[in-house]
Amino acid sequence: MIASIPNRKIIHIDMDAFYASVEQMDNPVLKGKPIAVGGSENRGVVAAASYEARKFGVRSAISGVMAKKNCPNLIFVSPRFERYKEISKQIHKIFKDYTDLVEPLSLDEAYLDVTHNKKGAASASLLAEEIRLRIFNEVGLTASAGISINKFVAKIASDYNKPNGQKTVNPDEVIAFLENLPIRKFYGVGKVTTEKMYQLGIFTGLELKSKSVDFLEKHFGKSGVFYYNVVRGIHNSEVKPNRISKSVAAENTFDTNLSSEIFMLEQLDKIATTLERRLKRSNVSGKTITLKIKYSDFTQQTRSKTLPYYISDKGLILESVKELLYQERMKDSVRLLGISMSNLNTEVKKAVFVQLKFSF
């Protein structure tokens, strides 16, 4: 079924190198230097990199070893998530001065629906400029923004003039913008899908648009309709201010690989404590417990168990985790363990879409 187009005024705010920028703000010695938050030159994974480090190919999710190889002068900084949350709250408080329709994607980015905003402003672009200026003046960090008729286009646009910039894609510019867009820049199209599209001769939005919905469904299943719609500027997803998390997790990467289940249980006890705190802070419980294991060769394994009742208690979590740990023998020493809780006792409300017409 092909969707209709409800035009809204959506701003996507994305903080610039958030974790790294907070560290540079709090410690002036780090300003202007290549830094990586998380990891180390011996092991671990980079959580964020400053723009000075990105010039050398340092980015999130690469190993600390590779990051140091790419940038010999790289400075590793331990993450301070409580501090990042504190700063994130300050930023979201600014958002709420403009609209209550704020959907956080993470600590450092969010969608804002300013179709009907608290300032009574007609221009979403000017609002984005004002919000970014306030973040800089009141928090001390820079942010980038994308502004358009839906979340999909706004998200892509926010990456165009980074850092400390913004891009507006007006309603009459959306189709041309998407047609000229390289397929790898489409939000939600990952590396595997990109390669598959290349094999099918799809390199740009225009080439994607030339394919029928039947063709796309044949090659991409249910995602085919999504691709068919978004390249035509159709993305009906509303900004959801009370977006429900599908899972809550905690994990830890170890300085030394673990080869004994006894040592693993000691670490899992600590991880379960963190998970329990996060569950209770969010006032949620779950039925499905998943144990994540990453081995020394970087291969990953997950083991899950679903209970007939909801839990959030550390003791009950550990009972199930122990079962999962001993479910089968370890194939190698372990560098990372994690526990996640899904199948949560939360409700997701269906969105109601309204056709809107106005000048942008």
- The domains of the chain are located at 10-16+82-171, 18-80, 174-230, 247-344
Render 98-122 in DSSP notation, one character per residue. Answer: T-S-EEEEETTEEEEE-TT-TT--S
- What topology does CATH give the domain 10-16+82-171? Alpha-Beta Plaits (3.30.70)
CB distance 210 to 231 below 8 Å: no
- Determine the distance from the C-alpha atom of residue 235 to the mean position of all C-alpha atoms in its chain, rounded to a whole number: 19
pLDDT at 6 over 80: no
| Beta strand ranges found along 223-298 (DSSP E) | 247-258, 286-295
Which homologous superfamily is 247-344 in? DNA polymerase, Y-family, little finger domain (3.30.1490.100)
Burial class (CB in 10 A: 0-12, 13-18, 19+), 256: exposed
pTM: 0.73
Active site residues: 109
* Predicted pLDDT at 348: 39
- Distance CA(292)–CA(271), nearest Å, equals 11
174-230 and 247-344 agree in CATH topology:
no
Architecture of the domain defined by 18-80 = 3-Layer(aba) Sandwich (3.40)
- Candidate from 77-81, 217-221, 251-255, 351-355 with smallest mean pLDDT: 351-355
pLDDT in tens, 205-217: 999 999 999 999 9
* Predicted pLDDT at 1: 41
- What topology does CATH give the domain 174-230? DNA polymerase; domain 1 (1.10.150)
For the chain, percent of residues with pLDDT exceeding 90: 68
pLDDT in tens, 210-243: 999 999 999 999 889 999 999 999 988 899 887 6
* Predicted pLDDT at 273: 92
